[in-house]
């Protein structure tokens, strides 16, 4: 068998395995067979898979409609950014960001509720 025929056979095996997505056994067997055939064809099985999926990807791209470039969105200015403050539920102190509130935390909050220690 020529190298071209072996590569074509490997493509056919992979095509058939991909058509049965839930059959893990068939897919593992296909990958094993591809590994053996790649050895006979003196090619890398991973290089074969890379080129196979690259060609599939290129074919899918060719079938996609052209993407129309969107107009640039309006720039975000400080006036358009929400300046809502976040308030601590325990003490009522307000913070500009959630991170600041998290840093304030329950451990540092002066109005935290302390639970009685039972022994």
Q: Could you tell me the two tokens for 40?
A: 């006979």
pLDDT digits (tens, 9 = 90+) for 53-72: 999 888 888 887 766 555 65
CA-to-CA distance for 106 and 22, rounded, in angstroms? 49
| List of residues 6+ apart from 43 with CB closer than 8 A | 3, 7
Range with the lowest mean pLDDT among 38-42, 43-47, 54-58, 75-79? 75-79
Average of per-residue pLDDT across 85-90:
80
The dihedral built from the CA positions of residue 26, 28, 29 and 30, taken in this order, carries a sign that is positive
* 62 sits in which H/E element: helix 45-63
Q: What b/e readout covers 96-116, taking b as 16+ CB neighbours within 10 angstroms?
A: eeeeebeebeeeebeeeeeee
pLDDT at site 47:
92
pLDDT digits (tens, 9 = 90+) for 89-114: 788 888 888 888 878 776 677 766 65
111 or 17: which carries more pLDDT confidence?
17
pLDDT at site 80:
47
**Does the model's pTM come out above 0.95?**
no
Average pLDDT, the chain: 80
In the chain, the DSSP E strands lie at 86-87, 94-95
Distances, alpha carbon 83 to alpha carbons 59, 88, 90, in Å: 47, 16, 21
pLDDT at site 38:
92
């Amino acid at each position: 068998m020529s190298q071209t025929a072996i590569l074509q056979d490997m493509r056919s095996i992979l095509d058939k395995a991909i058509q049965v997505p839930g059959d893990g056994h068939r897919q593992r067997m296909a990958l094993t067979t591809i590994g053996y055939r790649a050895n006979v064809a003196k090619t890398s099985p991973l290089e074969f898979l890379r080129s196979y999926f690259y060609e599939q990807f290129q074919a899918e791209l060719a079938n996609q409609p052209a993407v129309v470039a969107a107009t640039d969105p309006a720039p975000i200015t400080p006036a358009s950014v929400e300046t809502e403050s976040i308030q601590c539920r325990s003490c009522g102190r307000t913070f500009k960001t959630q991170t600041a509130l998290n840093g304030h935390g329950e451990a540092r909050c002066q109005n935290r509720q302390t639970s009685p220690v039972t022994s």
